Amino acid sequence: MNNFKHSEVIVIGGGAAGIIAAWRAASLGVDTLLIEKNNTLGRKLLISGSGKCNITHSGTVEELLKGFPKNEANFLKYSFYRFSNSDILNLLNSYGLKTFVREDGKVFPVSQRARDVLNVFMKLLRENNGKILLNSTVIDLQMHRDYFFKVITGSNQIESKCIIIATGGVSYPHTGSTGDGYLFAQKLGHNIIEIKPALAPVEVFPEFPEVWKGIALRNGLLKCYLDGNKLIEESGDVLFTHRGLSGPAILEISRYAAENIKKGNLYLYYDLFPFKSAEEFDIELTENFVNNSNKEVENVLKIYLPNRIIKHFLNRVGIEESKRCNQVSKQERKKILDLIKNMPLGKIVSIDIKSGEVTAGGVSLKEVNSRTMESKKIKGIYFCGEVLDIAGRIGGYNLQAAYSTGYVAGENAAEIIKSRLMR
């Protein structure tokens, strides 16, 4: 068992933000200890991108910042320029990890294995003499006089002058993200912005029939209404699951839905063909019915809908499956048109924060120096990654925020230590 008594910099949390923070501090020659409750680092990193690891997103820094709400983007701007998406990719490439950019801008390792990314991070820590303490849950963080801190685990009491809190949020708790950092921050006098799910699936009422489970509606436009007023819309796919709705479009709107679910009724609608107006689609549908006049309606609808749901779709508009195209009335065609262009997906009844990819809310950005990640309230306390009140779009944005804020936190903590040693 490792018995640590002192470390110049202690990083609590071995996710992406904590790893980068510890590496950066150690690379500057400062004694650094990374404490992780699990038996390995990077548990959440290993499942990111379905185990393939969506490392970051391509584009300029300004383009990446657009993936966050304005106040969060303003906070992240300095750190994103200090350690950008190009910087993290160059770092990984320098250790032999090849990457590629998908058409949607997401960046992955060529190997499609998150483990390869984590292996590089582990090598960075080893080469820079970063110490790692695994299987150790921090149960208390105490502040003594002159901003002297004591980190208490089950078997260690470790003293330090600089603490970097990189404990993540509360999403995917099986990876170790259980909100510990919020408690530490509150104990130290920080304000925690209400925690809400982000990039999370939703449950709707009424539930869709079993035949819809596993179906994906692609490249449409999802619209969310609050008491009849449009709240937000998002382009992308919607996936029907055994627990509700998921897919990129659903994940993107979930944060805004979570912020408003207590304010009224939230209803979802989906336009399967957003690049065609209702008039244009009606003309196309009419032409297809005329050109296939003796065929059954379901055969024409296969052009527009997954086969498995056509029967249920026709039931919803009150048309028999065996009905031929030349028997469809104008009113019936309008019902088909309306359902394709504005398909009701139900009322949102719950959004599970534990199933979200990230957590919105966290340590108030007003209480953290965006150029150093140091607390404005307590010298020597730093925050980075998801423990902060930041949550970006799907596609590598949140991992980039973890790297960038972790880098700045580690760098500044190390520089503070070095400046004290030189006095």
- C-alpha distances in Å from residue 191, one per residue of 146, 256, 383: 22, 21, 13
327, 351, 375 - which closes a domain: 351
**Could you say which of 288, 320, 351 is where a domain stops?**
351
**By the 8 A CB rule, do 102 and 108 touch?**
yes
Q: Are residues 290 and 345 in the same domain?
A: yes
**Which are the contacts of 12, defined by CB distance < 8 A and separation ≥ 6?**
18, 35, 138, 141, 151, 163, 164, 165, 166, 167, 180, 181, 184
Distances (CA, A) of 17 to 34, 182, 285: 11, 16, 51
- Evaluate whether residue 130 is within a structural domain: yes
Q: Residue 119 belongs to a domain with what CATH number?
A: 3.50.50.60
The residue behind tokens 């190390």 is 414
Residues 33 and 132 in one domain: yes
Find all residues with CB under 8 Å of 334, minimum gap 6, and list them. Answer: 282
Task: Specify whether 164 is located in the same domain as 25.
Answer: yes
Q: Quick one: pLDDT at residue 104?
A: 95
SS3 313: helix
Write out the residue range of the structural domain in which residue 128 sits: 6-197+358-422
Residues 188 and 211 in one domain: no
Q: How many domains in the chain?
A: 2
List the alpha helices (DSSP H) in 128-277: 180-187, 248-260
User: Quick one: 314 and 368 in the same domain?
Assistant: no
Q: Tokens representing 289?
A: 């019915």
Domain boundary among 351, 372, 401: 351
Instruction: Look at strands 131-133 and 32-35 and give their pairing.
Output: parallel
**pLDDT for the residue numbered 423:** 52
Tens place of pLDDT for every residue, the chain, 423 residues? Answer: 467 889 999 999 999 999 999 999 999 999 999 999 999 999 999 999 899 999 999 999 999 999 999 999 999 999 999 999 999 999 999 999 999 999 999 999 999 999 999 999 999 999 999 999 999 999 999 998 776 899 999 888 999 999 999 999 998 888 888 899 999 999 999 999 999 999 999 999 999 989 999 999 999 999 999 999 999 999 999 999 998 999 999 999 999 999 999 999 999 999 999 999 999 999 999 999 999 999 999 999 999 999 999 999 999 999 998 899 999 999 999 999 999 999 999 999 999 998 989 999 999 999 999 999 999 999 999 999 999 999 999 999 999 999 999 999 999 999 999 987 655
Residues 6 or more apart whose CB falls under 8 angstroms from that of 55 comprise 88, 89, 92, 99, 107, 108, 109, 117, 396, 399
Q: Determine the Cα–Cα distance for residues 290 and 326; give it in Å rounded to an integer.
A: 7
* 373 DSSP assignment: -
Q: Say yes or no: 119 and 232 in one domain.
A: no
Q: Six-digit token pair at 310?
A: 């056509």
Asked if residue 257 and residue 274 are part of one domain, the reply reads: yes
254 and 148 co-located in one domain = no
Let me know if residue 1 belongs to a domain: no
pLDDT at res. 55: 98
Edge-to-edge strand ranges of the sheet holding 106-109: 56-57, 106-109, 99-101
Instruction: Say if residue 34 is in the same domain as residue 175.
Output: yes
Neighbour tally for 286: CB within 10 Å: 15
pTM of the model: 0.94
**Single-letter code of the amino acid located at 146:** D
CA nearest 390: which of 381, 398, 382, 380? 398
Both 26 and 157 in one domain: the answer is yes
Statement to judge: residues 40 and 185 lie in one domain: yes
Same-domain check for residues 141 and 253: no
